[in-house]
C-alpha cells in the first residue's frame, strides 16, 4: 500500500506569519509544504506593483521564507508547492533559484504558465469568444474600463507534471487554492483523471488547509476554548490512497484541531453542495467528519463528479477611486452625535449625489460608537483629500469629543472583479523546468451517473420551555466573501440543535435577524452531514473587497453578528 501523504500549509494569505514556513519544516515530519499567497485582493495589489515595476508581481515574501527553509527542506526531502508566483511566476522562480545558488544548494525549480489570458482577449474576441459575467451574463466590454488582469484558475495537473519531472519547488501562478494539495496527491498516488472520489476528497483537504490557522482555531466562534491562540500551529492533512485524510498539526504547537474548528473551515467561502475545481467537482454534502483523537479529525466518504469543461477566469478592471473616514464617539448619545457628524459632512460635500457611490454605517451605540463614511467615484479628486479634509474641518466645530480613527488620506483605486467561464481549450498551460517546456493536458469532462443530492431530513424541533438567548449559546458560525456575495454558515454539534436550525432559521427569519441583508436575494443550502445551514447573500458586499465601501468588505464578522442575535431557544439545547 502506498504510504500516507503528509501535506502541510504555511501561508493563508500574502502577509501571513513569516516564521510559519520555518516552523512547519522544523516542527515535524512532512512530505510537502504548501503556501497560499493569492486572493482576489492580492492579485489587485500585485497588478499595481507590476505596473510600477515590471517583473515584481509576485509574493516576494516567499523568497525570504525560502532562504530560511531551503537547506532543511532539502535535507529532509520536503518538496514545496506555492502560488507565490502571482502575476510573474517566471520572475519568482528565478529569484528562488538565486536563493538556492546563494546557499550553495542544488534544487530543481519549476514554474507554471498559461493562466494569464489578458493579452489573448482580443484574439479570442476575433474568434467570437467573449467573457460573460457568471452571475448575470453581462459581456466583458474592454473599451468601457481599463482591464488590469485576466487570469484563469488552473488546476492540479500542471503541479503533478512538475513533480513527476523531479521538481523540488513548484512556483504556481493563479491556480485554485485546493490545487496546491491536489497536485502533490495526484503525483504521489498516481490518480487517473477519472478517480473522481479520490480527487474530490483531496480538493476538500486543500480547502481545509488553504486558510492556515482558520482550521486550527483562528477566527473560531469559541476562541476562548482554543489553547495558545497567540501562536496557533498551521494545519496538516495526512492523505490516504483513496483520498480520505486526517487533519492535524505539529505536536507542541498552539491552537486546536477539533470537529467544530474543521467544520468551520469546510463551510468557509462556499455556496451549495457542489464545490467546482478544474480537476473534479467535490460534493461537500457527502463527506463524513469524525474526531478521532486529540487534534486529529478524519474526513472520509467524499464523492466526486467529473471535471467541468471550463476554467473560471477572474479579471480586474478599474472601477474608479474610493476613500473612507471614520468618526469616533465616546460618552453616550452616540446616535445623535453620528447624525450630526454625517449631516454636517454631507453639507460640506454638497450631498450624496456628488459621488457615484456613498455608504455610511454606524457601529456600536450606548457609550461608544464609530461612524464609517465611504465614497467612490470615477474622479479621483472628488474622493481624495478634498473628501477627507472636509471631515477634518469638523474638529472644533461639531460634536463634543470629535475624533477620527486615522489621519486624512488620499484616494485609492477601486477595482471591480469580473468572473467568467472560459472553455479549457483556449488555455494552454505549460510547466517550465530547467528550460524544458512540458505541455499540460487539463482534466477532461467525463460521463458518470449523477450523484443524488443529500436530501434535508425531516426532524422534529425539540419541545419544552424556551428562553430568549443569543444563538452563540448553542451554535457556531463562519462567514466570508465570494466576490460580491457573502456566505454565512451556521452549524450545530447536536442533532437537536440542527433540527432547530433546519426548521426555524429560514431565509425570512434570517432577514428579520439581520435587516442589513433584508434587501438581498438569499439562498439557503442544507448540509445534513455537517448539521449545518449555509446562506448565500447575493450582492451584499458592494462589488467585492477591492471596491466595497463597507466596513467589513469580506464579511468576516457576519457570522459573529448572527450569533449575537437572540431567538427563543428550547431550554433542552443549552441546559
Strand-pairing partners, residue 288, are 300
Say what the pLDDT of residue 45 is. 84
d(CA 264, CA 261): 5
* 329-374: pLDDT as tens digits: 999 999 999 999 999 999 999 999 999 999 999 999 889 999 999 9
**Lowest pLDDT segment from 46-50, 165-169, 237-241:** 46-50
Predicted local confidence at residue 1, as pLDDT: 44
Q: What is the predicted pLDDT for the residue at 474? A: 98
Is residue 544's pLDDT more than 70? yes
Contact 483, 417 (CB under 8 A): yes
- Residue 441 and residue 540 in contact, taking contact as beta carbons nearer than 8 Å: no
Check if the beta carbon of residue 335 is closer than 8 Å to that of residue 362.
yes
Residue 380 corresponds to which cell in the numbers above? 479621483
| Structural domains for the chain | 5-308+419-439 (no CATH), 319-410 (3.30.70.600), 466-573 (no CATH)
pLDDT band, very low/low/confident/very high, at 48 (cuts 50, 70, 90): confident
Beta-bridge mates of residue 28: none
* Span 255-286, pLDDT tens digits: 999 999 999 999 999 999 999 999 999 999 99
Return the closest-CA partner of residue 476 out of 399, 365, 559: 559
For the segment 76-125, what is each residue's pLDDT rounded down to a tens digit? 999 999 999 999 999 999 999 999 999 999 999 999 999 999 999 999 99
- Which DSSP category does 53 fall into? S
The three grid cell numbers given for residue 282, joined into one nine-digit string: 467535490
- 3-state secondary structure at position 1: coil
In this prediction the pTM is 0.96
Q: What's the Cα-to-Cα distance from 134 to each of 138, 145, 535, rounded to whole Å?
A: 8, 18, 19
Query: What pLDDT, on a 0 to 100 scale, did the predictor assign at position 449?
Result: 81
Residue 40: the pLDDT is 76
Residues 6+ apart with CB under 8 A from 392: 404, 408
What are the tens digits of pLDDT across the range 65-77? 999 999 999 999 9
Could you give the CA distance from residue 326 to residue 352 in angstroms, rounded to a whole number?
17
What's the confidence (pLDDT) of residue 42?
87
Beta-bridge mates of residue 226: none
Among 404-408, 452-456, 533-537, name the most confident range: 533-537
Q: Retrieve residue 359's grid coordinates.
A: 455608504
What pLDDT is attached to residue 346? 98
The owner of cell 432577514 is 511
pLDDT of residue 56: 92
- Write out pLDDT tens, residues 407-422: 999 999 999 899 999 9
How many CA atoms within 13 Å lie on the side-chain side of 432? 17
Q: In the predicted model, is pLDDT for residue 192 greater than 80?
A: yes
Average pLDDT, integer, range 566-572? 97
Mean pLDDT taken over the chain:
96
Query: What percent of the chain shows pLDDT beyond 70?
Result: 100
Under the banding of pLDDT at 50, 70 and 90, the label for residue 2 is low
So what's the pLDDT on residue 22?
98
Cα 439 from chain centre: 29
- The β-bridge relationship of strands 566-570 and 532-537 is unpaired
Mean pLDDT of 495-519: 97
Which 3 state secondary structure label does DSSP give 282?
strand
Amino acid at each position: 500500500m502506498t504510504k500516507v501523504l503528509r501535506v502541510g500549509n504555511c501561508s493563508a494569505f500574502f502577509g501571513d506569519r513569516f516564521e510559519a514556513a520555518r516552523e512547519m519544516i522544523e516542527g515535524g515530519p512532512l512530505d510537502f509544504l504548501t503556501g497560499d499567497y493569492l486572493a482576489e485582493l492580492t492579485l489587485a495589489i500585485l497588478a499595481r506593483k507590476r505596473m510600477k515595476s515590471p517583473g515584481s508581481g509576485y509574493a516576494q515574501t516567499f523568497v525570504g521564507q525560502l532562504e530560511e527553509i531551503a537547506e532543511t527542506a532539502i535535507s529532509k526531502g520536503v518538496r514545496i508547492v506555492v502560488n507565490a508566483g502571482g502575476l510573474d511566476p517566471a520572475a519568482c522562480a528565478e529569484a528562488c533559484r538565486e536563493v538556492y545558488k546563494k546557499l550553495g544548494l542544488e534544487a530543481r525549480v519549476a514554474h507554471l504558465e498559461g493562466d494569464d489570458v489578458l493579452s489573448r482577449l482580443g484574439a479570442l474576441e476575433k474568434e467570437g469568444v467573449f467573457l460573460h459575467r457568471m452571475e448575470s451574463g453581462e459581456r466583458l466590454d474592454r473599451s468601457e474600463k481599463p482591464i488590469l488582469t485576466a487570469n484563469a484558475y488552473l488546476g492540479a495537473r500542471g503541479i503533478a507534471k512538475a513533480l513527476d519531472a523531479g521538481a523540488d519547488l513548484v512556483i504556481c501562478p493563479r491556480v485554485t487554492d485546493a490545487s496546491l494539495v491536489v497536485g502533490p496527491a495526484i503525483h504521489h498516488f498516481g490518480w487517473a483523471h477519472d478517480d473522481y472520489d479520490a480527487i474530490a476528497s483531496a480538493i476538500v483537504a486543500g480547502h481545509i488547509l488553504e486558510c492556515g490557522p482558520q482550521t486550527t482555531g483562528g477566527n473560531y466562534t469559541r476562541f476562548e476554548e482554543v489553547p495558545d491562540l497567540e501562536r496557533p500551529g498551521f494545519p496538516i492533512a495526512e492523505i490516504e490512497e483513496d483520498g480520505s485524510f486526517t487533519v492535524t498539526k505539529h505536536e507542541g504547537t498552539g491552537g486546536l484541531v477539533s470537529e467544530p474548528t474543521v467544520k468551520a473551515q469546510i463551510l468557509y467561502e462556499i455556496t451549495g453542495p457542489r464545490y467546482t475545481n478544474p480537476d473534479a467537482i467535490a460534493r461537500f454534502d457527502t463527506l463524513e467528519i469524525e474526531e478521532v483523537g486529540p487534534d486529529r479529525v478524519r474526513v472520509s466518504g467524499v464523492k466526486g463528479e467529473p471535471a467541468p469543461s471550463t476554467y473560471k477566469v477572474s479579471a480586474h478592471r478599474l472601477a474608479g477611486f474610493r476613500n473612507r473616514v471614520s468618526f469616533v464617539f465616546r460618552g453616550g448619545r452616540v446616535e445623535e452625535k453620528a447624525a450630526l457628524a454625517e449631516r454636517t459632512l454631507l453639507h460640506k460635500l454638497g450631498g450624496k449625489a456628488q459621488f457615484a457611490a456613498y455608504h455610511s454605517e454606524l457601529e456600536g451605540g450606548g457609550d461608544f460608537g464609530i461612524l464609517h463614511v465611504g465614497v467612490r467615484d470615477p474622479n479621483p479628486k472628488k474622493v481624495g483629500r478634498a473628501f477627507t479634509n472636509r471631515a477634518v474641518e469638523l474638529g472644533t466645530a461639531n460634536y463634543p469629543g470629535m475624533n477620527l480613527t486615522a489621519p486624512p488620506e488620499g484616494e485609492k483605486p477601486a477595482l471591480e472583479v469580473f468572473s467568467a467561464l472560459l472553455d479549457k481549450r483556449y488555455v494552454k498551460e505549460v510547466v517550465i523546468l530547467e528550460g524544458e517546456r512540458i505541455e499540460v493536458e487539463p482534466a477532461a469532462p467525463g460521463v458518470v451517473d449523477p450523484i443524488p443530492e443529500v436530501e434535508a431530513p425531516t426532524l422534529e424541533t425539540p419541545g419544552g420551555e424556551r428562553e430568549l438567548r443569543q444563538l452563540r449559546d448553542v451554535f457556531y458560525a463562519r462567514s466570508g466573501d465570494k466576490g460580491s456575495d457573502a456566505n454565512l454558515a451556521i452549524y450545530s454539534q447536536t442533532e437537536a440543535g440542527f433540527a432547530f436550525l433546519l426548521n426555524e432559521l429560514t431565509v425570512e427569519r434570517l432577514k428579520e435577524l439581520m435587516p442589513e441583508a433584508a434587501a438581498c436575494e438569499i439562498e439557503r443550502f442544507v448540509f445534513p452531514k455537517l448539521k449545518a445551514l449555509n446562506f448565500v447573500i447575493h450582492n451584499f458586499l458592494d462589488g467585492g473587497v477591492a471596491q466595497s465601501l463597507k466596513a467589513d468588505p469580506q464579511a468576516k464578522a457576519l457570522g459573529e453578528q448572527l450569533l449575537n442575535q437572540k431567538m427563543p431557544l428550547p431550554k433542552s439545547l443549552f441546559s
